[in-house]
Structure 1
Amino acid sequence: MLEIAAELHQWCREGRDFAVATVVAVTGSAPRHPGAALAVDATGTAVGSVSGGCVEGAVYELCVRSLETGTPVTERFGYGDADALAVGLTCGGTIEVLVTPVIAATGRAAVAAAVAAATRRETVALVRVTGAGGPGADGAGGADGIEPDGDVPDGHVPDGDVPDGHVPDGRVPDGHVPEQPTAPFTGALLVRPEGTPEGTLGGGAALDLAAASEARALLDAGRTGTVRLGAEGSRCDRPLTLLVESTAPPPRMIVFGAVDFAAALTRVGRFLGYRVTVCDARPVFATGERFPDADEVVVAWPHRYLETTTTDARTVLCVLTHDAKFDVPLLERALRLPVAYVGAMGSRRTHRDRLRRLREAGLGEAELARLRSPIGLDLGARTPEETALSIAAEIVAARRGGSGVPLTGAHTPIHHERGPASPAHARR
């Protein structure tokens, strides 16, 4: 839900009633991750996506029906090859979708506050009950009951599904499981890193307190996923599955060197959802007019700026200065920071000379191994725009665990599990 926060915030401000379908669990290869959402208002207007197109029509109808009845439902969509026209995921995976009506007359304060906070890029988590039991309720799954990003262990098919196309227990062969009512906990809980949670799940104070504690653990990691708890807040009583959606300020991309390649890279970085900073010691080049897509342009020596600015495990650093007097002191510090990516532009000859200088500065081989240089993937890039695409492709591959090789003829996964460096709330 929070990935379409800007649109839903506007709907809440306008007083619209709507229903929102949210992916709560993913098995196998699927196009969207937990937290992906499609919302439909009372006029039939839709925003968002849960599958990239495979089951959007069916989910749209579920939203319309949920809005009419005021009742939340869950439904699972998988792959069915018995009928080429059936509703299902053509990629072969399975997604479970929670559909929740958000109606002004019955109270929606926690949801409205969550989407407003996400629109302001604040760090918050929204907790909802997806149903009794749910993914992993049989005891399989991650440590302490946390399912990573809603996935189930490899080879496990939840709730009796089997991978050979057989549809047990009366389920229809069109790739989806008939809708089921959710648990009677229809509220929502807004959790911030600190302070008292807002709203309620509807199961009492003990459940809200336990859910808030679990939500803060996922919020600290910037993750969206499911958690199993008992209806009374412990892990020992009747199990519930909670969806915890986390959102945080966008990750940073810091581009060092106010060159033409940097201008193209800031545009790509912004498109990918990063907060982009351009830094250069030369004021004649480091100007807002030259970099209109940057969130900020800083005139400072790169290594000094890096020493004073805030970075985290999602930050990517792109060194395009191509000048040893800037590169070496900057990389000496950058390669010792716990950031997601450090890349530096230059020829292979420049790279060898740079490594020699960095070794002389005291960096070890493990630190040097983190440096991506020459920066980018081999796309045959020539123009600044093509070079920026090459760099961005390497950043995505590093963040997602991709190989960077063509998918044609390869046997690598198409959809990798979402990594910790993923932007949690891309700019719209």
Structure 2
Amino acid sequence: MLDIAAELHRWAEEGRAFAVATVVAVGGSAPRGPGAALAVDSDGTVIGSVSGGCVEGAVYDLCVQALEDGETVLERFGYSDEDAFAVGLTCGGVIDILITPVGVNTPDAHGTSDTHAGPVFSSALSAAVRSEPVALVRVLQGPADLLGRALLVRPDGTYEGGLGGHPRLDRTAAAEARSLLEAGRTGTVAVSEDGSHCPGGLTLFVESNVPPPRMVVFGAIDFAAALVRVGRFLGYHVTVCDARPVFATRARFPEADDIVVDWPHRYLERTATDARTVLCVLTHDAKFDIPLLSAALRMPLAFVGAMGSRRTHEGRVRRLREVGLSERELSRLRSPIGLDLGARTPEETALSIAAEIVAARRGGTGVPLTDSRTPIHHDRGEEAVVAAA
């Protein structure tokens, strides 16, 4: 839901009712991951996507139904062996989708309008468009009167809304959501109605909204300009850093989010990084590389890669050993950076670097799918499919 927050926030500001369908779990070769969303407003306008086209028509109908009856539902879509043309994912995957009406005042079983989640969704959308880190918690499975209940959790552990169960449930849900938010993850959590972790209770979906991961490119060279474009395409916040002011200019890197003139290791020491941060060292100059890499390889970063020939790599590793790096720390260095695509141009080289970053992030092998028998989608830490209600 939060991946289409900008448009949903505008709809909410205009007072438009809408239903949002969110992928909450996937299995097998599903095209979109947890958090992907599609929404339909009361005029039939559609934004977003949950499957790349496979089941969009059926999801649209479910959203229209949710707008009419005001009910939250959990629906499963998967491949049908009996009829490959039936509604389902012909790629062989399975996805669970939560359809939630927002701004729909439909009387519940007690005769009162069930609008408990509306303010929480509004706050979540407002935070998302401001790029504030928040986690939106929703009940996927459990007592019918709790389905779709929502809780908004902030990084400091404070929260608003409620899941409608035992008072301890909100505190437990907030703690679980905070952990996922810190890791920048979206997924499911199982708890009991009293807030413990006993089996057979509730299944919660936690959708994290965090700032985009960072890519820091060291070395203001022509290859860096191409890598900036690819990094932005992949959703990274891209910074170019070089100690030479004549090269590190906005004119040369118009698509970079930030351009920094500083010694690489000094900038790395003062800038904010996390476990999603990617470093691409394109300087292949020992006076820059060695201080930078000796610091980077001791930090909890997602990816550290360095450009250069194999001879450059061997000399670089020798110098890093001389300054005290262990073999374990050196094993984290991806050098020469990039997958073997036969790349020559800056654009081709940027593509090979990006391919290695994606493979490292998703647990891919880099082997052509034609010659591989491994699953096409095999994300590390992939969430299990939630059983359909």
Query: Measured at CA, do residues 53 and 183 of structure 1 come closer, stay the same or move farther in structure 2, by a change above 3 Å?
Result: farther
Q: Distance in 1 between matches of 2:157 and 2:321?
A: 47
- Cα distance, 1:57 vs structure 2: 0.9
The answer to whether the aligner puts 1:99 opposite 2:68 as a matched pair is no
Contact map agreement 1:33 1:418 (CA 8 A) in 2: no
Q: Distance in 2 between matches of 1:363 and 1:184?
A: 53
Matches within 5 A, 1:35-74: 35-74=35-74
- Cα distance, 1:25 vs structure 2: 2.0
Matched AA of 2:40: V
Please identify, of 228-237 and 281-290, the stretch whose mean Cα deviation from structure 2 is larger. 228-237
The number of residue pairs the alignment matches comes to: 372
Contact map agreement 2:157 2:175 (CA 8 A) in 1: no
Q: Distance in 1 between matches of 2:69 and 2:295?
A: 58
Q: Distance in 2 between matches of 1:389 and 1:372?
A: 15
Match of 1:2 in 2: 2
Matches within 5 A, 1:10-409: 10-103=10-103, 106=115, 108-132=118-142, 183-194=145-156, 196-203=158-165, 205-236=167-198, 239-409=201-371
Query: Measured at CA, do residues 251 and 39 of structure 1 come closer, stay the same or move farther in structure 2, by a change above 3 Å?
Result: same
Q: Distance in 2 between matches of 1:371 and 1:404?
A: 17
Q: Distance in 1 between matches of 2:192 and 2:332?
A: 43
Q: Distance in 2 between matches of 1:185 and 1:319?
A: 48
- Cα distance, 1:218 vs structure 2: 1.8
- Cα distance, 1:418 vs structure 2: 4.7
SS in 2 for 1:408: helix
Contact map agreement 2:191 2:201 (CA 8 A) in 1: yes
SS in 1 for 2:371: coil
Match of 2:108 in 1: none
SS in 2 for 1:317: strand
State the structure with bigger RCO (CA 8 A, min sep 6), 1 or 2. 1
Contact map agreement 2:84 2:90 (CA 8 A) in 1: no
Q: Distance in 2 between matches of 1:419 and 1:233?
A: 24
Please identify, of 409-418 and 265-274, the stretch whose mean Cα deviation from structure 2 is larger. 409-418
What is the RMSD of the two structures over their aligned residues, measured on CA atoms? 1.9
Please identify, of 197-206 and 217-226, the stretch whose mean Cα deviation from structure 2 is larger. 197-206
Contact map agreement 1:39 1:46 (CA 8 A) in 2: yes
TM-score normalised by length of structure 2: 0.91
Deviations 1:45-93 (A, max 9, x none): 1112112221111111101111111111111111112123211111222
- Cα distance, 1:366 vs structure 2: 1.6
Matched AA of 1:75: E
> Unaligned 5+ residue runs, structure 1?
134-181, 421-428
> Unaligned 5+ residue runs, structure 2?
106-114, 383-389
SS in 1 for 2:246: coil
TM-score normalised by length of structure 1: 0.83
Match of 2:386 in 1: none
Q: Distance in 2 between matches of 1:238 and 1:81?
A: 31
Contact map agreement 2:216 2:241 (CA 8 A) in 1: yes
Q: Distance in 2 between matches of 1:26 and 1:285?
A: 45
- Cα distance, 1:250 vs structure 2: 1.2
- Cα distance, 1:237 vs structure 2: 8.9
Query: Measured at CA, do residues 307 and 419 of structure 1 come closer, stay the same or move farther in structure 2, by a change above 3 Å?
Result: farther
Contact map agreement 2:21 2:63 (CA 8 A) in 1: yes
Q: Distance in 2 between matches of 1:11 and 1:119?
A: 13
- Cα distance, 1:277 vs structure 2: 0.7
Matched AA of 2:131: R
Deviations 1:27-59 (A, max 9, x none): 233222222211111111111211222111111
Matched AA of 1:37: A
